Amino acid sequence: MTAEVMDHGLEARGLGCVRNDRQLFADLSFCLCPGQALILEGRNGSGKTSLLRILCGMRQPDDGQLCWNGEDIFRLGPEYHAQIAYVGHRDGVKQDLTATENLRLARGLGAPNPAFGIDAALDQVELWEHADSLARNLSAGQQRRLALARLLVTWAKLWILDEPFTSLDSLGIGIVESLFANHLAGGGMLAVTSHHPVSLNDADIIRINLST
Amino acid sequence: MSTASLNRAFALLLWRDLVLALRRRTELLNPLLFFVLVTTLFPLGIGADPALLSAIAPGIIWVAALLAAMLSLDSVFRSDFEDGSLEQFLISAQPLSVLVLAKVVAHWLITGLPLLIVAPLLGLLLHLSGASIGALLLTLLLGTPVLSLIGAIGVALTVGLRRGGVILSLLVLPLYIPVLIFAADAVASSGAGLPITAHLSLLAALLVLALSLSPLATAAALKISLS
Amino acid sequence: MLRFFHQLGSPKHFYRIAGSWIPWLAAVCGLLMLYGLYQGMVVAPTDYQQGDSYRIMFIHVPSAWMSLFIYVVMAAAGAIGLIWHMKLAEVIAISSAPIGASFTFLALVTGSIWGKPMWGTWWVWDARLTSELILLFLYLGVMALYGAIDDKRTAARATAILAIVGVVNIPIIHYSVEWWNTLHQGPTVTKFGAPSIDIRMLIPLLVMAVAFKLFYLLVVLMRARVEVLERERNARWVRELVEAP
Amino acid sequence: MSGVQEFFHMGGYAVYVWSSYAIALVVLVANILVPVFQRRKLLARLARRQRRERRQP
């Protein structure tokens, strides 16, 4: 994936979020540039998921602004969404579709990634042999890897992941961490929350703790 | 975001919903069974006098079709909401209203259109004349998509609620009234040999209005429900 | 003038300004209503056709006007709240719903009571009464949706969408009911209107209409103040207010 | 019948006219009282909450 030189990524200015009138966080500012990873830490209910949903543009921040290449993400709309991929708590995998069908759908919804076919993506997450089995018949860990395979089939510069390692075994975690490393090396960006320590050896990491 | 990728996303989502519905084929019958069941209740309640039945048949069949369409609305977004795919639509590269339109068209093909298969049978059950059954099919063809389109707005507003079903009927049924009035009267008038072009053009106008406005409202409602 | 709106935008100022208006509004509205009732019940002559039963018109017609007026205001305020994220517009929209529903209910009840002497039945499927009934369902739908969603901000924005969809549908429903009414009404279309308007009948009608509009403004400000207090209950100015009311 | 009696008689339609006005009065008064009681209840609730907060260290 060729990294475009000129864009300078996601910039948050004074973000604030209130959920049923409790101030989760306020005046949060950071700048996420190509090749950087944002790791969100904090206790349960400290607003990590809400912040991620704001980054995705699914939720309006109660105050402050979020800009992608200097442009407010809510004004960009689908244009911004074409550049991101999101995997939340729920996998977003349809149980009655096969692994291939799930990925074909994800590929159609986002900006298709010419470098990765569906089979190549399945191979990356070692689900190639389950390509035609229904998602219903896959284990929780395999379904999680299928959800993460979605990141590969679309050309997304910014990956936004909520607890990506849940229900993954150590082998699975290793696979996913290597995906992160390649993505960052290719000039991609990462925003992730995880109770599991994310080992990105030489990547440029920004840590934000929401519960301090 | 070229129109090619837009059409592909639309077709893909339509294909997905149809495949999902076919993989759970038994559930396809539920709206039809409900439609037939409700219609057969009326003669049991009102009596079997053919003249009376054929007089009130248009209203009965259309109210039953309307209720069947409304009850099947819940499936439009519920399963996607629960397994997280609805979030994927919100952050897709395609405008949400187009994806919503694809889902509503799929829902209409799965639940609305099949009502037309059963309608003639119900027409005979209630002694409707041949011309009326023809008008019934035409009005159902024009009316059921409007029911799905308007219903989608109600579903999008209540998708986040635990027991959204009850409220859905309160939100959606008042908006179904114009369709019911024009369609039921079209069937009645054709039975009396009157022309029904006025009714059909009004139904078509409602369809065009719903097609152009309701996906936007549904998309906005989804963004709010999921925020 | 701009400063005024900007100031009104902040909940604290709105609470204070609305509070200062309420006594005056109540006084003027009360006087107007008394004057309107006096004109309507005493000064206005007996109608040669309907006798004195037409005097119900001075309540029924203004409430019917108000039921529609408030729905439109609710939809507009909802739209402003949605597009410009103005908290105050959301509060005004959601505070208007119960008032609109009460006026619609009032129009329905007084309409059917007024119809009783003329047609001998309590309910007649007249076009306007039927439209009022459907409008009541629209109001109940808005209020039910607001009640069902826990988070106040999401609930306000969802009801704004429903109100906008509703306001687009109101003319369609109205004309489809008119169409339906002329079909089933048969040849003798009973004009459910007021008798030929004598000036002494028109004045109380208009006075009552203005009085009802002031009444709506009064009650919507009162309800909005409570809603603002509820939403800003953690704010400092509310804590101070609670300490020293 | 004196003027006052005639006024209340309403030309025979007394029942309909005065029942409508009674219902109208009830609806309007209710609309005034509801926000007043709501505000009072809310202020009391907030006052209780603030007293409770002060008591905890």
Tens digits of per-residue pLDDT, C98-139?
999 999 999 999 999 998 888 888 888 889 899 999 999 999
Residue C224 is predicted with a pLDDT of 96
In the prediction, which pLDDT does C8 show?
Answer: 60
Write the CA distances from A124 to A37, A133, B136, D26, integer angstroms: 21, 17, 55, 72
pLDDT of residue A211: 79
User: Is residue A1 predicted with pLDDT exceeding 60?
Assistant: no
Count of domains for chain A:
1
The residue in chain C having the minimum alpha-carbon distance to the alpha carbon of residue A22 is C234
The model's confidence at residue A7, banded by pLDDT at 50, 70 and 90, is: low
**Which member of C42, C51, C110 has the closest CB to residue D20?**
C110
Determine contact: A75 vs chain C, CB below 8 A.
no
Q: Of B12, B82, B93, which has the smallest distance from its Cβ to A81's Cβ?
A: B93
- Number of structural domains (chain C) is 1
* Nearest-CB residue to C144 (from B167, B178, B224): B167
Helix C57-84 to helix C127-148 angle, to the nearest 10 degrees? Answer: 40
Cα–Cα distance for residue pair B79/B153, rounded to 1 Å: 16
Mean pLDDT of A60-84: 88
Judged by DSSP in three states, C49 sits in coil
Domain span at A176: 10-209
Q: How many Å lie between the alpha carbon of A19 and the closest alpha carbon of chain C?
A: 8
Of A161-170, C180-189, D35-44, least confident by mean pLDDT is C180-189
Q: Is residue C223 part of a domain?
A: yes
Identify the weakest region by mean pLDDT among A95-99, A165-169, C94-98: A165-169
CB-CB under 8 Å, C161 with B217: yes
Q: Is B110 on the interface with C (CB under 8 A)?
A: no
If pLDDT is split at 50, 70 and 90, which confidence band does C92 have? very high
Q: What is the pLDDT of residues B63-89, one digit of tens each?
A: 999 999 999 998 889 989 999 999 999
User: Looking at chain B, which subunits does it touch, using at least 3 CB pairs closer than 8 Å as the criterion?
Assistant: A, C
Rg (CA), chain C: 20
Backbone φ and ψ for A18, nearest 5 degrees, come out as: -120, 130
Contacts of B173 in chain C (CB under 8 A): 137
List pLDDT tens digits, range D9-24.
Answer: 777 788 888 999 999 9
- Amino acid (one-letter) located at A72: D
| Inter-CA distances, B6 with B11, B14, B93, B213, C44, Å | 9, 12, 9, 18, 66
Residue with the bigger pLDDT between C194 and B156: it is: B156
The H-or-E segment that residue A40 falls in is strand A36-41
Quote the ipTM score. 0.90
Q: Which chains touch D (3 or more CB pairs under 8 A)?
A: C
Model pLDDT, residue C26 = 95
Please, are residues A103 and B12 in contact by the beta-carbon 8 Å criterion? Answer: no
Q: In this predicted structure, what is the pLDDT of residue A70?
A: 86
d(CA C77, nearest CA chain A) in Å? 20
For residue A30, the SS3 value is: strand
- Neighbouring CB atoms inside 10 A of B40's CB total 14
pLDDT at residue A27, as a whole number = 87
Q: Is residue C166's pLDDT more than 60?
A: yes
- Give the per-residue pLDDT at B212: 96
Using pLDDT thresholds of 50, 70 and 90, give the confidence band for residue A3: very low
Within 12-41 of A, beta carbons closer than 8 Å to C belong to 19-21
Print the SS3 string covering B145-212: HHHHHHHHHHHHHHCCCCCHHHHHHHHHHHHHHHHHHHHHHHHHHHHCCCCCHHHHHHHHHHHHHHHH
What tens digit of pLDDT does each residue of D26-40 get? 999 999 999 999 999
Lowest mean pLDDT among A42-51, A87-96, B106-115, B185-194: A42-51
Q: Residues B224, B225, B226, CA angle at the centre, nearest 5°?
A: 90
- Quick one: pLDDT band at residue C192, thresholds 50, 70, 90? low
CB contact under 8 A, C234 and A60: no
Domain extent for B191: 3-225
Residue B210, chain C, CB below 8 Å: the answer is no
Q: Which of A20, A21, A22 is most worth mutating to test chain C (most C CB atoms within 10 A of its CB)? A: A21
pTM to 2 decimals?
Answer: 0.91
Q: Is the dihedral of CA C228, C232, C236, C238 positive or negative?
A: positive
Chain A adjacent subunits, 3+ CB pairs under 8 A? B, C
CA dihedral defined by A43, A44, A45, A49, rounded to 10 degrees? 100
- pLDDT score at C188: 46
Mean per-residue pLDDT of chain B: 92
CB proximity A201 to C under 8 Å: no
pLDDT computed for residue C196 by the predictor = 58
Percentage of chain A with pLDDT > 70?
Answer: 94
Q: Do C234 and A20 touch (CB under 8 A)?
A: no
Calculate the CA C190 to chain-centre distance.
Answer: 27
Q: Which of A126, A196, A139 is nearest to A165 (CA)?
A: A196
Confidence of residue B19 (pLDDT cuts 50, 70, 90): very high
CA gap A5, C197 in Å, rounded:
77
User: Regarding beta strands A84-87 and A71-72, do their DSSP bridges make them parallel or antiparallel, or are they unpaired?
Assistant: unpaired
Q: Which of A209, A212, A207, A203 is nearest to A179 (CA)?
A: A203
Q: Look at C99 and D19 and tell me if their CB atoms are within 8 Å.
A: no
In chain B, pLDDT over 70 holds for what percent of residues? 100
Q: Per CB distance under 8 Å, which residues of B are interface residues toward A?
A: 1, 5, 8-9, 12-13, 16, 19-20, 23-24, 82-85, 87-96, 99, 223, 226-227
How confident is the model at residue B199, as a pLDDT?
A: 94
The residue type found at A97 is L
Q: Using CA atoms, how far apart are residues C165 and B156, in angstroms rounded to an integer?
A: 13
For the segment B81-102, the average pLDDT, to the nearest whole number, is: 93
Report, as an integer, the average pLDDT of C204-219. 95
Cβ count within 10 A of residue A204: 12
* Residues of chain B contacting residue A92, judged by C-beta atoms under 8 Å apart: 83-85, 87-88
Mention every residue, 6+ apart, whose C-beta is less than 8 A from residue B54.
Answer: B126, B127, B128, B129, B132, B191
Q: Is residue C198 part of a domain?
A: no
Identify the pLDDT of residue B118. Answer: 93
Which residue in D24, D31, D43 is closest to C242 by CB distance?
D43
Contact status, residue A122 vs residue A103, Cβ threshold 8 Å: yes
**Given pLDDT bands bounded at 50, 70 and 90, which one contains residue C3?**
low
Closest Cα partner for B17 from A96, D14, D32?
A: A96
Residue C227 confidence (pLDDT) above 80: yes
Residue A131 pLDDT level (bands cut at 50, 70, 90)? confident
Tally Cβ neighbours within 10 Å of residue C2: 6
Taking the CA of residue B180 and the nearest CA in chain C, the distance in Å comes to 9
Question: Which residue matches tokens 């006005």?
Answer: D21
Chain C: residue whose CA lies nearest to D41:
C226
Closest residue by Cα to residue C243 from A22, D49, D39 = D49
Integer Rg of chain D from CA: 23
pLDDT tier at C210 (50, 70, 90 boundaries)?
A: very high
Q: How far is CA B35 from CA B27, B40, B135, B149, in A?
A: 14, 9, 18, 19
Q: What is the DSSP letter of A193?
A: E
Q: Do D35 and C225 touch (CB under 8 A)?
A: yes
Domain that holds residue D39: 3-55
Task: With cut-offs at 50, 70 and 90, classify the pLDDT of residue A2.
Answer: very low
C235 part of contact set with chain B, CB < 8 Å: no
pLDDT value at residue B215: 96
- Residue B1: per-residue pLDDT: 54
Roughly what angle, to the nearest 10 degrees, separates helices C87-119 and C152-185?
30
Contact state of A81 with B87 under an 8 Å Cβ cutoff: no
Least confident of A114-118, C35-39, C75-79: A114-118
- Which residue of chain C has the CA closest to B220? C161
Query: Could you tell me the two tokens for C98?
Result: 């119960």
Distance from D55 to chain C by nearest Cα, in Å?
15
**What average pLDDT does the structure give for chain C?**
88
- Residue of chain B nearest A101, judged by CA positions: B16
Q: What is the CATH number of the domain that holds A67?
A: 3.40.50.300
Name which residue leads in pLDDT, B25 or A200: B25
Residue B141 pLDDT:
96
Answer whether residue C189 shows pLDDT above 90: no
The count of domains in chain B is 1
pLDDT at A5 over 50: no
pLDDT of residue B100: 96
pLDDT at A6 over 60: no
pLDDT band at C195 (very low <50, low <70, confident <90, very high): low
Give the closest-approach CA distance of B140 to chain C in angstroms: 18
Distance from CA of B217 to the nearest CA of A (A): 16
Asked if the Cβ–Cβ distance from D42 to C230 is below 8 Å, we say yes
Give the number of other Cβ atoms within 10 Å of residue B141's Cβ: 17
Structural domain span for residue C136: 18-43+52-184+205-243
